[in-house]
Amino acid sequence: MSVKILSITLLLLSMCVCFSYSAGPPGPGSKRPCCVNVTDIDMSPEVVGETYREQAAKPPCVKAIIFNTEYGQLCADPKAQWVKDLTAKMRKE
């Protein structure tokens, strides 16, 4: 009975490995998702880390400053005062 369980386990494990490799890692042609809308509401308390990324407007993407939060990426309006203040603070540090 243990040989049967071991065989099934190895089969399932090998299938998992095959499926993960068939998807493949993101290649040079793959794009990361972009911001299609932004917020101007002050979300600075949610921002983690000391870095941000600028995104150019290239439809359907909009011009945005992208911050990291505990919940994922935050797309912020580069014209919002809180965004200007926070990016200036990050550049100084």
pLDDT of residue 2: 75
Question: What's the CA gap between 81 and 39, in Å, rounded?
Answer: 12
Distance (Å, whole) CA 66 – CA 36: 12
What confidence score (pLDDT) does residue 7 get?
52
Compare 8 and 25 and report the one with higher pLDDT: 8
The model's pLDDT over 17-39, given as tens digits with 9 standing for 90+, comes to 333 233 333 345 546 789 999 99
- Which of residues 91 and 18 earns the better pLDDT score? 91
* Domains with residue ranges and CATH for the chain: 28-92 (2.40.50.40)
34-48 mean pLDDT: 97
C-beta atoms surrounding 11 within 10 Å: 10
Task: Answer whether 82's CB lies under 8 Å from 44's CB.
Answer: yes
Q: Are strands 47-55 and 72-76 parallel, antiparallel or unpaired?
A: unpaired
> For residue 74, what is the enclosing H or E element?
strand 72-76
